[in-house]
Structure 1
Amino acid sequence: MEVLLTVKEIEKSFKDKKVLKNITFEVRKGEIMAILGPNGAGKSTTIRNIMGIMYPDNGAITFHQHNGKGIPRNKIGYLPEERGLYQNVKVMDILLYLAELKGYPLDKAKERALMYLKKFDLEGKEKVSVEELSKGMGQKVQFISSIIHEPELLILDEPFSGLDPVSQELFKKEIRSLADNGTAILLSSHQMNLVEEMCDRLFMIQNGQKVIYGTLDDVKTQYANFKCTIYGNNNIADLERISHVQRVEQEGDTSTLYLDKDVVPNTWLKELPENILIQELKINRISLHEIFIDIATNKNLIQEEGDANA
């Protein structure tokens, strides 16, 4: 796929503290790329550098062969984590105003605004002021404002914040549709289940530097060991003696066994002792949520073998 955005070896410091260290990744046309990390890891600073709100001390950000102040911002859509719509302005007026700032034709903007308001169950809210909307409705309007000008690159910072499950599904469907139609999407979220469900590739940052970069399958294969969940009343000491078990977590009659790297599940299951009580069993890889927690809390529970490269 065509690369639309390249972030290459960027660094950023505030006073004597370096907050970004050699950050490098790409975002391709038609893909959903996740940028992940705990609070304070450097995600927002990276996004602000891409948006031109600030500029890196070293390195380069290139979009459509342009860099620095030459990047065509009208081709980029941005949904910030902190919402910033004018509260006392009517919904349609704010959408048309923001489209005009991007140089987008107003007749097309109005047509798209009406289409999206209907799609997001906001039909008839055109003349309602932003301050009268619920948090979820406001989030929908903010999302519409980020895509109304048909951006080629869409940056979404916590897009699911304040949304109920039905609205989350609407957003997921629309984000995937945009990607399918060629929009490059850079998505930041703390909701790992949604990231795991939606994203094609991911870049995880911790303490201002890369810790994971690659496709979700690559990351799960490279970083995520298998775990086995056994439902049954078992003694934890018996489970800890099983071969290739790194550690065991137990809660009531549920035991989770974290396995060594490169364990072959079919072979390992055949070697389970006969005295283990199994009412139900499932085996799968550690989730993206568990990888995130492991890195964010420096538990070092995951056996790394290097980077997962795209």
Structure 2
Amino acid sequence: MSLKLEHVVKKYKDFTAVNDLNFSIGKGEIFGLIGQNGAGKTTTFRMILDLQEPTSGTISWEGKPINSVNRDILGYLPEERGIFPQMKVEEQLYFFGELRGMNRNEIKKEIDFWINRFDLEDKRKNKAETLSKGNQQKVQLIASFIHKPQFLILDEPFSGLDPVNRDLLKNAILLLKNQGTTILFSSHQMDNVEELCDHLCLLKRGVSLFSGSLLDLKKQYGKTKLTIRTNVSTEQLGRMSGVKEIKQDREDIVLTLMDESYAKPIFDVVSNGNYIEKFSLDYLSLDEIFKDKVGGEHE
């Protein structure tokens, strides 16, 4: 494993921000750390980056204590954004690359690639303060991985991005993964986590409720989400055995079942002389599981 956390605890006087946290991330893997605000995500990132010391427990990179590794293997995009407003985009990226020990020829190659990929070609000579919030974020993203880190931490990287720029970022993350970068990120947008992550850890008030593969998490619930498009009424479907919840979603009727064994009896009733345009049984989405696990809607 590239990164490993074992029994990590972080206390501030009487407050425990992280409590007995354990997870590991393999090389070239994308790992999601999810939870509500205040769950302990940013504290965990800061301990991994050796910006804060754990109260107890160990954090290691490739078997070595994280505080003993060369800092240039790490890249970090903090949730609190910050770039130099008066500095031009290109100058900022040269500055951050040089901080990481790169020569200007190496940096230029990376700048040209990422400026083009993030559609910033016409902004490279502009001062950062003149850029939109989304474009400023893209500049800071490039700065976090311009030195090709082995391990990259992204704290809420999708925050404030429109759908087009979110897709640009997703594709960049997947490209970095394919190049062997190990990536740890947090997001309140569960669809991004579901689409990108191999494994994840779900935090609630500093405690891990689950750590493992997304599929294993979904299997805990089973296939209980039944989507139907039919002329059978919601009233009739709602009265059927095993239906916990029912709602109309545009043309579809979505049922939450007690377990997947109730799907066949429902199919038998719906298919008895009725036209069925859609009958789909699937796992709950990560967003639905998240709400169930942490209680209430996330922020």
User: Quick one: distance in 1 between partners of 2:262 and 2:213?
Assistant: 22
User: Quick one: distance in 1 between partners of 2:97 and 2:105?
Assistant: 10
Alpha-carbon contact 2:226-2:263 (below 8 Å) kept: no
Alpha-carbon contact 1:10-1:22 (below 8 Å) kept: yes
TM-score, structure 1 as length reference: 0.86
Structure-2 change in CA distance of 1:235 and 1:175 (3 Å): closer
Aligned-pair CA distance for 1:274: 5.0
1:44-193 equivalences in 2 (<5 Å): 44-193=42-191
Q: SS state of the match for residue 97, structure 2? A: helix
Q: SS state of the match for residue 263, structure 1? A: helix
Counterpart AA for 1:157: D
Number of residue-to-residue matches in the alignment: 296
| Number of the residue aligned with 2:194 | 196
Aligned-pair CA distance for 1:70: 1.4
| Number of the residue aligned with 2:27 | 29
Unpaired segments of 5 or more residues in structure 1?
300-310
Unpaired segments of 5 or more residues in structure 2?
none
Deviations 1:105-131 (A, max 9, x none): 332012211221111111143321111
Counterpart AA for 2:65: N
TM-score, structure 2 as length reference: 0.89
User: Quick one: distance in 2 between partners of 1:253 and 1:155?
Assistant: 40
Structure-2 change in CA distance of 1:103 and 1:263 (3 Å): farther
Counterpart AA for 2:165: S
Alpha-carbon contact 1:230-1:282 (below 8 Å) kept: yes
Deviations 1:253-288 (A, max 9, x none): 854321123527456623659598966543322110
Give percent identity, aligned residues only. Answer: 39
Counterpart AA for 1:173: N
1:266-281 equivalences in 2 (<5 Å): 266=264, 269-270=267-268, 280-281=278-279
User: Quick one: distance in 2 between partners of 1:203 and 1:46?
Assistant: 12
1:8 to 2:6 alignment: yes
Q: SS state of the match for residue 121, structure 2? A: coil
